[in-house]
Amino acid sequence: MTSSPIRKIYQGIADRRQMFRMFDRHAQRPSRFEDDAAPLYRGEWFEVSQADHNYMFELLPPLWMRYGMFAMREFLTGNVTSVFFTLRVDDRIRYFHGYCDLNDRRSPDLMRDIIVERESRPVRAMTREERIEHIWSSTHDDYRGYADWRFPITLRGKRVVIVYLSGQAHPFKLLDQLTDDEVASKLPVHLRHLPHAIAA
């Protein structure tokens, strides 16, 4: 299981199908019912449409509302729940979803500030971590998974994706070990040639 810095997991505005899919993008992990999933989800965020933001607001009465944000009443795991944001970024109103751990009262405000800072960058760019997370978020379940018996014991349970290479015994490769060329090949064409940003 990974640590939980605040991180963007999808480039662009997710449509409704993608939004619901990303709400539980770690659902297939082998230890789903055995581990504390809070660190896995805590800090993940992505952009949504105004229509989907409003849909989620009307779905259930919010747990709480503040200026520009509301929290969902149903918790994903532990004290981690969905927080939806309405933010002004470079004179445009945009909408975002993030998983915040409400054990930390500052969590929603910190996420809001990081989203605004990230989306206010003058040059459109992606870090390697954002590219990796976008690949995981956008890859169909049939083409991604978790390292199993075919991998050394120390690697089992880590995220893998299909990479077709000649002479390869099995097509799965560890997500975080993809080469830059493999990462580029798995990104949509409009994202492949974005400059690399330095992680903050």
Report which secondary-structure segment, H or E, holds 7: strand 7-14
Top mean-pLDDT range of 92-96, 177-181, 184-188? 92-96
pLDDT band at 64 (very low <50, low <70, confident <90, very high): very high
Phi/psi class of residue 195: alpha, beta or left (left: φ > 0; alpha: ψ in -120 to 50)? beta
User: Pairing state of beta strands 44-48 and 7-14?
Assistant: parallel
Where do runs of H (alpha helix) occur along 68-177? 107-119, 128-138
pLDDT tops 90 at residue 192: no
Phi/psi class of residue 165: alpha, beta or left (left: φ > 0; alpha: ψ in -120 to 50)? beta
Q: What is the mean pLDDT of the chain?
A: 85
What's the whole-number mean pLDDT along residues 106-110? 94
CA distances from 82 to 3, 20, 23, 97, 130 (A): 18, 12, 8, 7, 20
The pLDDT score that the predictor gives to residue 84 is 97
Q: Residues 54, 57, 63, CA angle at the centre, nearest 5°?
A: 160
